[in-house]
Structure 1
Amino acid sequence: MKSAAVVPLAPAPVTVGAASLIVSYLEALGVDFVFGVPGGAIEPLYNAMAVSMRRGGLRPVVARHEAGAAFMADGYARETGKIGVCVATSGPGATNLITGVACAYDNKVPMLVITGQPSLPVFGKGALQESACTGINTVGMFGHCTRYNTLVSHVDQLETKLVQALMRASQPPHGPVHLSIPLDLMRSPVEQRLSPQSLQALLRKPSLIDEDMVHSLFTSLQASRKVALIVGGDCGEAIDAITHFAEMTNSSFVTTPDAKGLINPHHVLYRGVFGFAGHSSAQDALNDDVDLILAIGTSLGEWTSGAWSQSVLNSKLIHIDAMDEHLRHSPMARQHVRGRIRTVFERLLDMMHIEQESLGMPWSPTDFKHTKHNAVTLREPEKVHSDATPIKPQRLMVELSKRLPPTTRFLADAGNATAWAIHYLESRNNRRLGLVPPYGGSQDLAANRAWHGERRHDHAGWLRVLMDFAPMGWAIGAAVGVARGKPDCPVVCITGDGSYLMNGQEITVAAQEGLTVIFVILNDSALGMVKHGQRLAGAEQVAFELPTVNYALMAEAMGVRGHVIESPDDFNQLDMAEILNRPGPTLLDIRIDAEEVPPMSLRMQTLEGSV
């Protein structure tokens, strides 16, 4: 256990406006942007942001709907590792945030949510959009989807409650926190007692691990002949150490759907995605006469456990996680290792190096040139090469994979877009150790030797998808948040026409902000997952149809360039270099083959009650 951070002594209190205090705290944390929709009850906070913006500080990004603001804050947090901040006025402004906040809660995204209230003296008098306990109780609503939730009822509570909220958002289990602040308190003077340096120390992530359990795990590894790894979505900051561990032990690894973007899909030890829309090669790797299965940083819920597959949830399992709520899903495991995942694997690697050096066998990387590469098994691989019109969604994923640079961030929306991306989409990044260079060239073995102490800031990787609570339209707003947090990297939002009809107006935020986001619309004039789910289940074919819409023309009406893509050859007509170098978004209206069934059998298995 590392020693606790020393919190510097605070300077003498200074008096500032309550809204200015909030803004100064966010500036101290390096927050650049606040996403929201303004309104009367939250006006003082926007005034304080205007002052900050003039001195080069944070500034507001105006969403078109409060749910979009929450999705943007989610994407910003995933990309930057900072706290995402979204704000809304009282009443319906607050309730519109709830879907996005619930999404962040279930996906453990750190977020500060601030909503307004009418002034305290008018509580209970029927004030417009009152949402305290005497009105439509939004504080009560947020209590079900936040890690910390409170009404600030006196100005002297503000600093303490703000600090408590930020601490809860920043430390495992991460998630959104909510402050509801009355208008008169937001305008009031308040004493600031804590310095920015003190705040940063309080929010520092602990490096706590159960040392006894790590030693026990090391002993189990010593006695094991063959190990397989399941890499989960919470492994972002630890992925370099985990990959190094897999290479040292020559262990095959698979990922959960939400972790595919953390790894290089060309690594010779990678066997594919396990779980929803996954690959048979991943299932085979876990059943390949292994002694231990290490499940790392995953909830082992429906989509990440293969619908609670007995090939994973058995006595071979060792579950490694920082969160008790995840560990509670695997009571049958041989062992639980609780602690910060990066620290656990740094300790394991230290022990392995020490042991090998004591035996006079200093470690040298595996020569992957002579390692057999068992390719990831794709479903219907012939369709990724199809030249048919309308374009096969399998072929579409291949076209996106090869035409976008390695720095691209892909976000796949709820529905068929998620299934197609998880199964078929790849990253062009082939620069890390253990790769099979597709065009020849040597392997950079030295690149991974300096694993120790490396800190990964890209916690979500090149592909971001949702698990569990997965609202349609999330990727549309989140893509804007990602691009705002990392404006020098291309961002691609893969979404369906159903999701776009719900939330497509947020594309105008990308236009107003000059963000290079490519919105890829899978246009099949249907709620695709509903349609295919009904067919697979033998249910009535009803209520899935959508109107035929030219989304490229819709984009043009919003000042956004749009293109219709019907065949693979249509991609050759695009000037991708111009699209990627021009500020502002582009929309691709992709007319996909509506009869292609996405890899969703695992979901059907659950719905049919056969698990």
Structure 2
Amino acid sequence: MEKVSSILARHMKKWGVTHIFGIPGKAIVPLLLEIDTTNIEFILSKHESGAGFEAAGYSLLSNSLGVAVGTSGPGGTNLITAAAQAKAFHIPVLIITGHPSIKDVGKALGQDSTLFGTDLVEMFRPVTKFSVRIERGDQVKSYLSHALEKAFSGVKGPVHLSIPADVLTEEIEPFEMNLPESQHVVSSNYHEVIDVLNNAKRPALILGKGVHSSKAYEEVRRIAEVWGIPVMTTPGGKGTFPSKHSLSLGAYGLGGTDESEAYVEEGIDVMLVIGTKLTDMSLAGFREEHFPKRVIHFDYDQTFIGKTIDVPTLFIQGDLKRNLQLIISEMMRRGLGNDSASIRILEEERVINHDLKRNLQQLLDEMNRRGQAIDAELLGVALEQASSIEQYDQGDWLSSKTCMEVMNDVLPSESIIFGDAGSHSYYAIKYLDIKQPGTFFFDDVFGAMGYAIGYSIGAKLAAPNKKVICLTGDGCMFMHGAEVSTAVNSNAPVIFIVMNNSGLDMVDKGMKNMTGKSVGTTYSHPVDIYQFALSMGALPYKCRTAEEFKHSLQTALGYNKAVVIEVLVDPDEVPPTMRRTL
């Protein structure tokens, strides 16, 4: 026989979990003691929401299970926000909360987590894929199996188990359980996509964060290149396609580029949508007159298919990567996807930046004259050569746009960047260059302020050899900035870039734009991020100019400790988020 707590800890070790995040409490002490015996590192977070964010970031970069632990009552309720954020991000996280004692249910208990107190199981249900209380030891195997299957099947997501303290110490028959393998559900009508795209006159490809979830970066690039389809990303899809690719129009919706907006204004006949539910954030500024004649929509979840854009829609349900792979195989069988595809990209009038296109064409004409080969990879190199880097602007404040230009110049191409909820990330969505797919992560669905602080810490612990950057703001730091202490204490050398404009910038400008005034959006006494970071043991910098920021960022890249770079940005600069309406 073996204690339930021992079985759980042993399995976490078996599954390759190296870090578990949480805050101790009486109800979960038996589990924490067993975790300690397995040499899994328990990371003491500063708030349970932070623990949940960290577990999600860990899962995202480890491509495995994240685990967050909280005690009963408020420990559990604090994890609800993190669960909702993980669900919006499609991240498999196992959340375990405690309860004083199942045998005492119905009596007056402190931090009661049943229906007699704070019913955590019911509270977690809307924000997880599975939530249940384990009331007897003989339920552990079955409920744990259900939870893991839900976490890793279809659209991945968080699950919740409430396990009372006396159940954790109960001895049961030991068992073995593996993490479920992903099931690649394939649509029966994927082959129809080829004919629709072959007949499209002016298509557009729009990518969401489902491409991140499926790691289908190479597949979407192949599809775009074969048909020469201009590519736009949703705010959450930022990072799924290289910015310098000749077909990239940048982002659409909030933080959208002029190029993507101009292309939509000129009309689209077929919109190929991959991995996004098309929220109001993704389609800000998109009106009925912009509707395409037809939509091809790839997604696992049918809930919002055809609801936002009411036109004939070809729904390709299931695993994005696998469906795209089958389409690529089919088009190669038909003779599409050969080496002439890259030349066709230039011939199409779907590349919007005409000045840049002219520069490219001159370069490629010269390459043709010399008999040099042309391929898609070379196009990306040529594009980078043809583009010019703007000079940094200088003024009384550092502009947020300039911050992005400095980051473009300094950060290595493989740096992993997490954008927090706020205008700072929408500047990144519009101006930050994506040099490698899978290096920028942002959520435009739930958008919990401060989540990126925790995500970046968990990600760094999962991938210690990667440079991990958190792009956040002063408002987000007020929410969850104490997690910088977690980074310091857990030796997670994240670089936190904090754009400080003394208020809740996105809300402030949006409220003024829509109503003519703002209420409760600025601080009469702004936070001093430098002093705040210093108090927690991080290495702090305060920057007022582009050169100071550049020097600080270059220096931070050489340190192996948590660094906080405060950038004082123009509080009057209008962010690229004004397309939303009441």
Please identify, of 286-295 and 87-96, the stretch whose mean Cα deviation from structure 2 is larger: 286-295
Distance 2:493 2:145 in 1: 35
Structure 2 residue 396 is matched with structure 1 residue 396? no
Match of 1:495 among 449, 467, 472: 472
Query: Do the aligned residues in 1 keep the contact of 2:268 with 2:293 (CA within 8 Å)?
Result: no
Residue matched to 2:484: 507
Distance 2:130 2:443 in 1: 22
Change (3 A) 1:575 1:150: closer
Structure 2 residue 79 is matched with structure 1 residue 79? no
Match of 1:185 among 158, 167, 170: 167
List per-residue Cα deviations over 1:35-76 (Å, max 9, x = no partner).
Answer: 1111110011111111110xxxx3211100001011111211
Residue matched to 2:326: 347
* SS of the residue 2:46 aligns to: coil
Q: After the TM superposition, which residues 199-348 of structure 1 pair with which residues of structure 2 at under 5 Å, given as runs?
A: 199-200=178-179, 203-211=180-188, 213-236=189-212, 237-288=215-266, 290-306=268-284, 309-310=287-288, 313-327=291-305, 329-330=307-308, 332-348=311-327
Residue matched to 2:419: 412
Query: Do the aligned residues in 1 keep the contact of 2:253 with 2:286 (CA within 8 Å)?
Result: no
Query: Do the aligned residues in 1 keep the contact of 2:100 with 2:165 (CA within 8 Å)?
Result: yes
Distance 2:417 2:553 in 1: 19
> In the TM superposition, what is the alpha-carbon distance from 1:494 to its structure 2 partner?
1.4
Structure 2 residue 122 is matched with structure 1 residue 170? no
Structure 2 residue 90 is matched with structure 1 residue 90? no
Residue matched to 2:111: 129
Query: Do the aligned residues in 1 keep the contact of 2:93 with 2:158 (CA within 8 Å)?
Result: yes
Residue matched to 2:570: 593
Distance 1:308 1:368 in 2: 29
Indicate the percent of aligned positions where both proteins have the same amino acid.
27
Residue matched to 2:364: none
* SS of the residue 1:86 aligns to: strand
List per-residue Cα deviations over 1:234-260 (Å, max 9, x = no partner).
Answer: 013212011011111121111111111
> In the TM superposition, what is the alpha-carbon distance from 1:351 to its structure 2 partner?
1.1
Distance 1:362 1:86 in 2: 47
Query: Do the aligned residues in 1 keep the contact of 2:267 with 2:290 (CA within 8 Å)?
Result: no
Residue matched to 2:342: 366
Structure 2 residue 60 is matched with structure 1 residue 50? no
> In the TM superposition, what is the alpha-carbon distance from 1:539 to its structure 2 partner?
3.9
> In the TM superposition, what is the alpha-carbon distance from 1:286 to its structure 2 partner?
3.9
Change (3 A) 1:535 1:288: closer
Query: Do the aligned residues in 2 keep the contact of 1:314 with 1:333 (CA within 8 Å)?
Result: no
> In the TM superposition, what is the alpha-carbon distance from 1:370 to its structure 2 partner?
5.6
Q: Which amino acid aligns with 1:582?
A: Y
Distance 1:85 1:530 in 2: 33
Query: Do the aligned residues in 2 keep the contact of 1:415 with 1:496 (CA within 8 Å)?
Result: yes
Query: Do the aligned residues in 2 keep the contact of 1:271 with 1:376 (CA within 8 Å)?
Result: no
Change (3 A) 1:287 1:537: closer
> In the TM superposition, what is the alpha-carbon distance from 1:324 to its structure 2 partner?
1.5
Structure 2 residue 450 is matched with structure 1 residue 473? yes
Structure 2 residue 50 is matched with structure 1 residue 68? yes
> In the TM superposition, what is the alpha-carbon distance from 1:271 to its structure 2 partner?
0.9
Distance 1:363 1:235 in 2: 25
Residue matched to 2:137: 155
Match of 1:483 among 450, 460, 468: 460
Structure 2: unaligned runs, 5 residues or longer: 356-387
Structure 2 residue 503 is matched with structure 1 residue 526? yes
Distance 1:68 1:174 in 2: 20
Query: Do the aligned residues in 1 keep the contact of 2:154 with 2:318 (CA within 8 Å)?
Result: no
Distance 1:134 1:319 in 2: 45
> In the TM superposition, what is the alpha-carbon distance from 1:588 to its structure 2 partner?
1.0
Q: Which amino acid aligns with 1:274?
A: Y
Q: Which amino acid aligns with 2:301?
A: M
Please identify, of 155-164 and 552-561, the stretch whose mean Cα deviation from structure 2 is larger: 552-561
Query: Do the aligned residues in 2 keep the contact of 1:276 with 1:303 (CA within 8 Å)?
Result: yes
Distance 1:44 1:154 in 2: 16
Residue matched to 1:555: 533
Q: Which amino acid aligns with 1:48?
A: E
Change (3 A) 1:310 1:259: same
Q: Which amino acid aligns with 1:64?
A: K
> In the TM superposition, what is the alpha-carbon distance from 1:387 to its structure 2 partner?
1.4
* SS of the residue 1:356 aligns to: coil
> In the TM superposition, what is the alpha-carbon distance from 1:382 to its structure 2 partner?
11
Residue matched to 2:431: 424
Change (3 A) 1:376 1:463: farther
What's the RMSD between the two structures over aligned residues? 2.4
Residue matched to 2:363: none
Change (3 A) 1:307 1:31: farther
List per-residue Cα deviations over 1:176-199 (Å, max 9, x = no partner).
Answer: 111000100001112233x34xx2
Change (3 A) 1:579 1:332: same
> In the TM superposition, what is the alpha-carbon distance from 1:280 to its structure 2 partner?
2.5
Distance 1:591 1:602 in 2: 25
Residue matched to 1:10: none
Distance 1:376 1:421 in 2: 24
Residue matched to 1:439: none
Distance 1:393 1:376 in 2: 27
Distance 1:579 1:121 in 2: 53
> In the TM superposition, what is the alpha-carbon distance from 1:267 to its structure 2 partner?
0.5
List per-residue Cα deviations over 1:578-597 (Å, max 9, x = no partner).
Answer: 42232211111111111101
Query: Do the aligned residues in 2 keep the contact of 1:293 with 1:312 (CA within 8 Å)?
Result: no
> In the TM superposition, what is the alpha-carbon distance from 1:325 to its structure 2 partner?
2.1
Q: Which amino acid aligns with 2:482?
A: Q
List per-residue Cα deviations over 1:293-337 (Å, max 9, x = no partner).
Answer: 111111111112336643665432111112222425355333111
List per-residue Cα deviations over 1:414-453 (Å, max 9, x = no partner).
Answer: 1212221111112345xxxxxxxxxxxxxxxxxxxxxxxx
Query: Do the aligned residues in 2 keep the contact of 1:353 with 1:363 (CA within 8 Å)?
Result: no
Please identify, of 84-93 and 413-422, the stretch whose mean Cα deviation from structure 2 is larger: 413-422
Distance 2:391 2:290 in 1: 30
> In the TM superposition, what is the alpha-carbon distance from 1:91 to its structure 2 partner?
0.6
Distance 2:296 2:345 in 1: 30
Distance 1:268 1:253 in 2: 9
Change (3 A) 1:174 1:39: same
Distance 1:286 1:30 in 2: 46
Query: Do the aligned residues in 1 keep the contact of 2:294 with 2:311 (CA within 8 Å)?
Result: no
Query: Do the aligned residues in 2 keep the contact of 1:315 with 1:334 (CA within 8 Å)?
Result: no
Distance 1:116 1:156 in 2: 17
Query: Do the aligned residues in 1 keep the contact of 2:508 with 2:518 (CA within 8 Å)?
Result: yes
List per-residue Cα deviations over 1:265-288 (Å, max 9, x = no partner).
Answer: 100111111111111311333455
Residue matched to 2:383: none
Residue matched to 1:114: 96
Distance 1:427 1:467 in 2: 18
List per-residue Cα deviations over 1:373-408 (Å, max 9, x = no partner).
Answer: 64499xxx9997311231011101111121111121
Distance 1:325 1:376 in 2: 39
Change (3 A) 1:94 1:50: same
Distance 2:227 2:186 in 1: 22
Residue matched to 2:368: none
Structure 2 residue 25 is matched with structure 1 residue 39? yes
Distance 2:203 2:231 in 1: 9
Tell me the number of residue pairs that the alignment of Structure 1 and Structure 2 aligns: 545
Distance 2:518 2:272 in 1: 42
Query: Do the aligned residues in 2 keep the contact of 1:268 with 1:368 (CA within 8 Å)?
Result: no
> In the TM superposition, what is the alpha-carbon distance from 1:540 to its structure 2 partner?
3.5
Distance 1:481 1:84 in 2: 9
